[in-house]
Amino acid sequence: MNDKLQNSLLITALRSLDKEGIKDFDLFVRSPYFNKNADLCRFWEVIKANLDKKSSKLTKIDLHRLLYKDLAFKDSRMRLLMSNLFLLFEEFVINNELKKKNLEHQNILVHFYRENGLGSHYAKKVKHIRKNFEKGKVKDSSFFGLNAALNFEEYQFQISKKRSSTNALKDTFHFTDLEYILLKLRYACILSSNKAAFKAEIEIEFLKEIIEFIKREELYDRPSIALYYNCYLLLESEEVKYFDRYKELLIKHIEVLAPIEIREVFLIGVNYCIRQMNLGNDEMSNKLFDLFELGLKGRHLLVEGSLSRFTYRNIVTIGLINKKFKWVENFIYEYKPNLDAKYRESMFTLNLALLKYEQKEYGEVQELLYQSEQKDLLLNLFAKTILLKVYYEQESIKLLDSHLDAMEIFIRRKKVIGYHRKHYMNIIKYTRKLLKLNPFDHDAKSKLLVEVQNADTIAEKKWLVKQLHSF
């Protein structure tokens, strides 16, 4: 396929499907219930045959010829086929997503039975849904929203039967309030977690009133509300007491949230710990390690079975800070298959090298990093920094000199920008100063130590300070 076809909405969307997704979409396109257009089926067959062939030079003209043989090419005909197949793809996605939402299906049936006067069907289905509500562990905003919708259906059913009870309407308002409160708290937490990324202050309407309402009505008996409420207090105050309460609630009530929200709530705690550690609160490293262990145990840090390479590296780093060497080694090997295939080998090698460095197995560090090519620019610089430390600690001065020169050339040639450039140029600069330092010149040593400690942006500042203290 040529570039224009490769980058079309249709082709990029279809390529997002895995093998099972392609099989399911194939059945969907062939189903006469969803598609009665024979040309569309034939068009899909040709697209499917070329979907994995990124080197294919197929054009719209070629597709037209395969479909219509000697019929004169008409671009509008091909555009219509592409548009219709894309609409069919979107319908397929919607159907697939709806299949995952069982309770929403049930509420749709309740509405249908009520609207069509099927009283016994309606009553049986409502009873079934309420039973599922009671049995279900997840009590998130969707749960409260579905409860509100079901109670409103019940209210409308009662009106149609000339009944005057207001209980169903009262419950509709109650569950609507709970849904709104949870959604507002969730979005407020997301905003507070990322406020550093926003240039302008975003004011959240009614948030103060919601916080006061939670206090006044003592909604702490609702675990999901208690979790988000505590997360918000933690984010806004940064006080450790809220973190301890957050962790307690997380352990006790983790199953009340949907998987995507559990991951969000975990990341709130993770980012809080990292911020505290950056402020010099080293005690938080142990709390963060415990949090990662909890997240891994429940597979809450994984998304559809995959672990982010950044989370993988963060977990290794925190494990090493806490000297959990055996645990870290097991983690590196156990979760390697969960990494994106594109980064799997490089991330595995880099993190194993980091472990071996902490264990002072310098020969293995060099062997691992020499055989690994880090395509990601910042990971490449991170690997070079590990080698820098190895050469220094081994007192391989000639190797270190050459390495510092090569690292500087690499940074200049690759045009590393922003604070990353300053970070890595500074470690080169201060390592060179460290090499030139006279071990008997205590004034020069003290002066360099102050200079390093006062530097705003410098990679491996703690390592440089440690070397100066042991100089």
Instruction: State how far the Cα of 57 lies from the Cα of 43, in Å rounded to an integer.
Output: 17
pLDDT of 319: 97
Q: Phi and psi of 85, rounded to 5°? A: -70, -35
**List of residues 6+ apart from 254 with CB closer than 8 A:** 262, 298, 300
The single-letter code of the amino acid at 48 is K
pLDDT of 53: 62
pLDDT of 201: 76
Instruction: State how far the Cα of 404 lies from the Cα of 431, in Å rounded to an integer.
Output: 8
The single-letter code of the amino acid at 267 is L
- Three-state DSSP class for 271? helix
Instruction: Find how far residue 79's CA is from the centre of its chain.
Output: 36
Q: How many helices (H) and strands (E) are present in the chain, helices listed first?
A: 24, 0
Tens digits of residue pLDDT in 277-314: 888 888 899 999 999 999 999 999 999 899 999 999 99
- Three-state DSSP class for 456? coil
pLDDT of 198: 65
Tens digits of residue pLDDT in 104-148: 888 999 999 999 999 999 999 999 999 999 999 999 999 999 999
Q: Which helix (H) or strand (E) holds 120?
A: helix 119-135
Which residue ranges of the chain lie beneath pLDDT 70? 1-4, 53-57, 164, 196-200, 416-418
Instruction: Find how far residue 363's CA is from the centre of its chain.
Output: 35
Instruction: State how far the Cα of 182 lies from the Cα of 177, in Å rounded to an integer.
Output: 9
Check: CB of residue 349 under 8 Å from CB of residue 372: yes
pTM here is: 0.81
